[in-house]
Structure 1
Amino acid sequence: MTILREALWRIGDTSRRAGLSIVSAAALGISVAGYAHAADLYGPVADSPKMGGTLNMGLLLEPPGLDPFHQAADARIRVTVLVYQGLFYEAADGEAVPLLAESYEVSEDGKTYTIKLRSGVKFHTGKEMTAEDVKYSYDYVRNAENGSPGAGDFSVIESIDVVDPLTVRFNLSEPNASLLMALGNKYAGVIPAGYFDDESAKTRMNNESVGTGPYKLVEFNPNSNILLEKNADYWEEGAPYLDEINFAILPNSASMLVALRNERIDLVSLARPQDVQQIEGIEGIEIERFPSLNQKSIDLGLELAPLDDVRVRQAIALAVDKDEIMEAAIGGYGKVIGTIVAGLQDRWGVPLDALPVQGVDIEKAKALLAEAGHADGFSLTLTTINGYDWMDPAAVTLKEQLAKIGVDLDIQKVDLGVWINNFRSRQMGFTFNDWATQPDPNLLYYRHFHKQPAGSDFRNWNNEEASELLDKGRSEADYEARRAIYNDFQMLLAESAPTIMMFSSDHLIVRNQAVKNYVQHPTGWYYGLARAYLDR
């Protein structure tokens, strides 16, 4: 029997439940999903889990590497959140919950954070974690010379002091309302002090792990699998439940569906609705739908003419029918967005009907192109990424839409590693993008859209007013004032259109019925595997 259900969690419900609430988001009036209680790190604690066993999870996207400090790909983050940990956990409801931290205090001026660490935490190497390791790890990632894509998230840190073996102090140049969320483990896992002194350290992260997470790396075989095993020295008693997680890397959805039917795969996240529809009704398989903090977008790199002309970008935005692209790409399994991911819309977003340059207006788009000197149109190359199946039908649909305003679109597919290099070198051109955020607007916007050097400004927007708003939003602690700042930023983002956020896709999780207690985090990262177990 196949069960298709929309799994959401009631925010603020302090009861601890292993089960899922089968209830619609509209009925609850919420769009950000959280666990039953934020203290349930990684997901809901199971009442009586069956311990042991190997869970086989399918991966359609292979991580380019497993280095959490230098590798920006979301495909990497999904896996390494199980291996490396930061001081805080990114709870789905927007709360930063102590993880390797035990408690913290903030000074009255908001510029000093004193953090007490958990005692008895061991690295996968067997060494016990101390404040020296924490200082080293965050000093490393915040130093832009070390090449971490997360350096901008920590640019307000002036210094880190070791107070005692289990206490660190972060000294900031200015208040940062999202610091604790940034001290998670997207780009900031705590590792042993001095680890990167060895020139081979970055490469070794593909063969061995030095984190503190519930699982540690056994092997990474490109084009084959990633094997993780239970960390026997993990600091949380009783966790994790599984002995091993084997991530099987398969080349396409067709092979993944065969593996699901043959029970060689226990769990997989699928992106295409047509794939889900093929396995509906199969005995022993369940299909679940989870809301997300993900976005599918079109990025318009201003380093490429004529995208450096705001009129051209606005014309393209007015030619894009987001609903049509979403239907082609993922069916109805998502939500059209404006300038913020669906999971943050209610709390932080400007209503879509209040944003400028939204909706389809072909005549206005043609007029803007004529005004910009392109009355006869022009040719443009769209870059898509191999393995991101939604991009193929979306690209065909976008090509048809832009043809209506005289833009001839050539579609070029590249491997993820090539795309990441273009992204980090700010040579994005005209491309589809697919990325998730932590549940805070600063972490969504700052690194991507703030001008250099404080931000990475991947699209070469270099917008002074936008950068000033992002600075204000990051330092403002009051929610209402902060929301007003980010609303102003979104109006500017929509008007200037360095990116066109199209839709947030739901997470479609397909699992064998033997897989119990798996909850998909809205980022798309596989935190929930630390709470999953096998009943067979």
Structure 2
Amino acid sequence: MPEIGRNVMPETFDTNRRRLLKSVAAIPLLSLLGMSLTGVSARAAAADLVYGASDPAAKQGGSLTVGSLIEPPSFDIYHQAGEAVNFVAPLMYQTLVYADHDGNPHPLLAESWEINEDASVYTFKLRSGVTFHTGQPFEAADVKYSLDYMRNAENGTIGALDFADIDTVEAIDPLTVRVTLKQPNSAFLITLTHRNGSIIPRDWYAGENARARLNSTSVGTGPFRLVEFVQNSYMRLERNQDYWQPGLPYLDEIVVNFIPNSAGMLVAVRNGRVDMAVLVRPQDAEQLEGVGGLTVQRSRSLNQKSLDLDSEHGPLKDERVRQAIALLIDKEAVMQAAISGYGQVLGTTVPGLQERWGVPLGELPNQTVDVDRAKALLAEAGHPDGIDIELRTIIGYDWMEPAALTLVEQLAKGGVRVAIQRLDLGTWLQNFRARQMGFTLNDWGTPPDPNILYYRHFHKKPEGADFRNWANDEASTLLDEGRQALAYEDRKAIYDRFQKLLAESVPTVMMFGADHIVVVSDAVKNHAMHPIGWHFGLVKTWVDK
């Protein structure tokens, strides 16, 4: 994958202090943060900058069958947490801004934008002629409703904290929206690229059974519509005939078959039951070597496989216990067991952000195995004979089973005796949202900005969700400073300090990031997996059958 956030200098600057940057849509936001974000404007992006490269040889029509091990509990995108719904929701729902494979922001439902000097006021010009799947026209009032609904924590939305910095959303005219923040937020554009920023028709959730109805119909502006969802079986998407990007999508239909395990997935791939599958266990690609008619695609991700330590859970309340656990983990061995090395060992950030934002692993505490020190820390914490604890895994995330078994062996060497508890995704998500994570494996990705990676997960309440009950004042102060700083150098210094604190106190152990491994049949053309792992690429995928 190309280097994220290369230092690309714009061709022109205004000479006044606002330094108005032209055509910012074609320049990486992460590069902008190395200069000045103030006074920025953007114009519409070329078609090839949204959803990946177009293919002049593409044929319209056809059906694509995708195999998936992970099934969303529901498609209520504003209230359903977890990565499972993220994979396919962006095909049905769209945001104002799109982030490409390199983390560059491009206009999507917003045709252009302007940002004031201190990055506290964002004015968006919306696309005309866009309609929702309901047939309603897309207008500024819908953007205001969507952002206001999402940011209102009383609605039980999953992204309320992502947009808590919003002070007002104003519909200036039918195609102009002005968002004023309570304080500068240099990551706001990239925040808008997340599924939590999806735009839906105004007053949708005021309707009867609105949330349940989203399991049988979609109401977004995206290139595909949901027409059928049969739990424990499949979902079917069809081409949005009224989609606003001419000629897209290429496919008439996408069928997602939910398959219970990796063994079944391999059978489905070999016998042609599915045209494409994401291999949750990347090492399964080795079993497809030499199988005719198949191609395996491998790419870098913005994902992490982590071990979370709830700071209010039993012995994990003591920082020394959490540090001891970190010192017993051989991340490379866990990665080999879980995904046969098809990834990257992590320190305190995801693979796609390490080069630009990550602290080198050698400069972080608690990254190398030290059994004697771990035992000493447990003794200091009042556990000279070790501790007993349950490790939670999620059924359907096949990498977790071998990872958990390896962790059981590693932790036992220091006196941490582990029993594995397997939870279904719905129960795990309930614990997650209730901040009762306990001691658990986790699997999640991020848009390409450290604010989005860290703030909601690790900032103390009420500004953050603090899912791991860390409640660390110093960390929260650093996260506030990182969100408000505009220059890359300032942000980098702040996030370096935060990452060292994260590694020292250990509310989580980021173990490894798995590469994306996708197997496709020879009939599948022009597919590329987005680093975040969501199926944006299917908008420009086509089939030659």
What is the TM-score of this pair, normalised by structure 2?
Answer: 0.91
> Partner amino acid for 1:402?
L
After TM superposition, give the deviation of residue 504 of structure 1 in Å: 0.4
Partner of 1:307, secondary structure, is helix
**1:184 matched residue in structure 2:** 193
- The answer as to 2:502 corresponding to 1:528 is no
- Map residues 4-19 of structure 1 onto 2, 5 A cutoff: 8-9=1-2
- Map residues 84-233 of structure 1 onto 2, 5 A cutoff: 84-233=93-242
**1:279 matched residue in structure 2:** 288
Q: Choose from 483, 489, 492 the match for 2:498.
A: 489
Change (3 A) 1:352 1:287: same
Partner of 1:81, secondary structure, is helix
Change (3 A) 1:277 1:41: same
- Map residues 430-441 of structure 1 onto 2, 5 A cutoff: 430-441=439-450
- Map residues 74-473 of structure 1 onto 2, 5 A cutoff: 74-473=83-482
Task: State how far apart, in whole Å, the 2-side matches of 1:513 and 1:332 are.
Answer: 26
Instruction: State the Cα deviation string for residues 100-119 of structure 1 (Å, max 9, x = none).
Output: 00011111232111110000
After TM superposition, give the deviation of residue 470 of structure 1 in Å: 0.4
Q: Choose from 53, 58, 64 the match for 1:49.
A: 58
> Partner amino acid for 2:356?
R
After TM superposition, give the deviation of residue 388 of structure 1 in Å: 0.4
Instruction: State the Cα deviation string for residues 367-413 of structure 1 (Å, max 9, x = none).
Output: 10011011100100000000000000011100000100111100000
After TM superposition, give the deviation of residue 293 of structure 1 in Å: 0.3
Task: State how far apart, in whole Å, the 1-side matches of 2:361 and 2:388 are.
Answer: 30
> Partner amino acid for 2:329?
V
Task: State how far apart, in whole Å, the 1-side matches of 2:430 and 2:205 are.
Answer: 22
Task: State how far apart, in whole Å, the 1-side matches of 2:436 and 2:146 are.
Answer: 29
Partner of 1:191, secondary structure, is coil
Note the residue ranges of structure 1 that are not aligned, 5 or more in a row: 1-7, 15-31
Partner of 1:212, secondary structure, is coil
After TM superposition, give the deviation of residue 210 of structure 1 in Å: 0.4
After TM superposition, give the deviation of residue 38 of structure 1 in Å: 9.3
Note the residue ranges of structure 2 that are not aligned, 5 or more in a row: 9-29, 31-44
> Partner amino acid for 2:54?
V
Q: Is the 8 A contact 2:304 2:513 kept in 1?
A: yes
Task: State how far apart, in whole Å, the 2-side matches of 1:185 and 1:384 are.
Answer: 26
Task: State how far apart, in whole Å, the 2-side matches of 1:414 and 1:71 are.
Answer: 17
After TM superposition, give the deviation of residue 273 of structure 1 in Å: 3.8
Task: State how far apart, in whole Å, the 2-side matches of 1:200 and 1:355 are.
Answer: 49
Instruction: State the Cα deviation string for residues 207-256 of structure 1 (Å, max 9, x = none).
Output: 11100001010100001101000001101011100000000111111221
After TM superposition, give the deviation of residue 198 of structure 1 in Å: 1.8
**1:498 matched residue in structure 2:** 507
After TM superposition, give the deviation of residue 92 of structure 1 in Å: 2.5
**1:519 matched residue in structure 2:** 528
Task: State how far apart, in whole Å, the 1-side matches of 2:398 and 2:264 are.
Answer: 13
Partner of 2:367, secondary structure, is coil
Partner of 2:353, secondary structure, is helix
Task: State how far apart, in whole Å, the 1-side matches of 2:300 and 2:380 are.
Answer: 41
Task: State how far apart, in whole Å, the 2-side matches of 1:199 and 1:178 are.
Answer: 36
Instruction: State the Cα deviation string for residues 236-291 of structure 1 (Å, max 9, x = none).
Output: 01110000000011111122111111111000000224422211110001111111
Instruction: State the Cα deviation string for residues 136-183 of structure 1 (Å, max 9, x = none).
Output: 000000001111121111111001011000000001111101111111
After TM superposition, give the deviation of residue 94 of structure 1 in Å: 2.0
Query: After alignment, is 425-434 or 151-160 more displaced?
Result: 151-160
Partner of 2:49, secondary structure, is coil
After TM superposition, give the deviation of residue 39 of structure 1 in Å: 5.1
**1:3 matched residue in structure 2:** none
Change (3 A) 1:39 1:156: farther
Change (3 A) 1:481 1:38: farther
Task: State how far apart, in whole Å, the 2-side matches of 1:456 and 1:149 are.
Answer: 10
Instruction: State the Cα deviation string for residues 450-502 of structure 1 (Å, max 9, x = none).
Output: 01111100000000110010001011110010011001100100000000000
Q: Is the 8 A contact 1:325 1:397 kept in 2?
A: yes
What is the TM-score of this pair, normalised by structure 1?
Answer: 0.93
> Partner amino acid for 2:449?
D
Task: State how far apart, in whole Å, the 1-side matches of 2:55 and 2:130 are.
Answer: 23
Task: State how far apart, in whole Å, the 2-side matches of 1:296 and 1:163 are.
Answer: 43
Partner of 1:418, secondary structure, is helix
After TM superposition, give the deviation of residue 37 of structure 1 in Å: 8.8
> Partner amino acid for 1:362?
V
